[in-house]
Structure 1
């Protein structure tokens, strides 16, 4: 594996497991990578990985023309807090330095807010993928996650397949974008949600009941966001629990309702979200999605990759 410079940023929460931080540092250094801004893993302010200004500065450092760009910019963890710093980012400077450059900005969950804002305000493409503490510092490292991560950010094209049978036949092309559903819904009506036309929207979330998932999807639908998309690709919605009161209202029933109300194809089984074995997906890539009773195939291109 080629040695890379990896810049750590903490736009959201602080890592609550110091051992995970040390494991992540040890593993990446053992592979020959150079880590920058490690202090971001040790900052704390209330429940955040530093004050709002400190966390915004992690990203704004990338706009400094006198500083050499890293190969990878890796979010320490998710949680909450990215929305608080969106107004403080130097979008003009970040556009000038990062747009179409071979730099991989990577994270998921709360990092979705950063991804959306960078694309909406600066046209910067990023990656939904593993984070430093929870994934690189996991007690049991996922070989699947690590292999797919390095493959995704190092090649100009990427293909993801699933053998999960699909209820609808789909053959569409468009921009791939999305991420955490709660974050996407929270950005509706703000200048930080990109106005994507003809896109392929992927979504995921954690610890959310199907009715809460449906409510957030309805928000995207009723605000007009879904009506501009070619398809929805459902990632993992882990941690949600049903009760006796649900009386048959399951995740599958919710998806059927979304299909009926929106009229948009919904593809299921994308291995992305709060799971151990995680895909890495380029936010802003050109994508082609084909699905049928045998599964689906998602092909991506036109995104920054390491050289």
Structure 2
């Protein structure tokens, strides 16, 4: 696995919008915050464009991201937000120049598509973490923001937090993969599908119906994907929905049932995803996870 170089004071970072549209005020806020942290900032030409629900049409979003991938002076790329749209452009991107000098790509939600290509095809690490869309609601002193910039500067975290009642205790080591569960499901049977053997999977989601979550978990179970994992980290499942005829289980209970016959450790309640706190994760990094009655722990 290839790890991009760490940032330093004065590094140049880029902001692009490969998915949903975002207002110019949020882009400007993010640019100002990043400059206050000592970075030079380059904003994609179409970053605040609007084409229906997208940040510009497919060609505009592709060209912005391609330019950032190719630029030698840009050392990290912040995706401005998720939403939907990255799957429409992922196969149009040429990573040949990027691979000559890889850089960090940061984002979550729909950006899971980019993470998947980076890890599963190109073997380059990337960061699941806060995006410019979140910056106006945060302070640079917030725990997840501070940890994000520590990671970018080479200071990898150890997370230790209160165990969840559904945790399955144990310890495991493996390469960290994953992201938004709906996007992981979307990429099944594509060139960007993950090979699960020996991996530690992180999942999160937002706004899904509980029966749909169960359907996604059953797909991963029936295909043998879940069986081959070394461990599972379950993040935030926020704003989940139910029908009038209730499904009968919570999101975490659905996930717990789907992996109940496997013996690897499972950690529930890691603070990453669409909630107020989104602690960064380095996808492509070999990590150790452990769970016991006193704590959950993730070591990078």
TM-score (norm. length: structure 2): 0.89
What's the CA shift string for 1:100-159, capped at 9, x where partnerless? Answer: xxx321000000001101222211211001111x22233766712211111122225321
What's the CA shift string for 1:252-297, capped at 9, x where partnerless? Answer: 4313311325555431011110012110110100100111112211
SS of 1:41's equivalent in the other structure is coil
SS of 2:158's equivalent in the other structure is strand
Matches within 5 A, 1:1-307: 2-15=9-22, 17-64=23-70, 67-98=71-102, 103-132=103-132, 134-138=133-137, 143-166=142-165, 167-242=167-242, 245-246=245-246, 248-260=248-260, 264-300=264-300
| Consecutive unaligned residues in structure 1, runs of 5 or more | 301-307
Distance 1:157 1:20, change over 3 A: closer
* Match in the other structure for 1:304: none
Distance 1:252 1:120, change over 3 A: closer
- Quote how far apart the aligned CAs of 1:63 are: 4.8
| Consecutive unaligned residues in structure 2, runs of 5 or more | 1-7
Equivalent pair of 2:18/2:62 in contact (CA under 8 Å): yes
CA distance in 2 between counterparts of 1:257 and 1:194 reads 22
- Quote how far apart the aligned CAs of 1:28 are: 2.2
SS of 1:191's equivalent in the other structure is coil
Distance 1:256 1:225, change over 3 A: closer
> In the comparison of the two structures, how many residue pairs are matched?
292
Equivalent pair of 1:135/1:141 in contact (CA under 8 Å): no
TM-score (norm. length: structure 1): 0.87
Distance 1:251 1:63, change over 3 A: closer
| Bigger mean CA offset, 203-212 vs 256-265 | 256-265
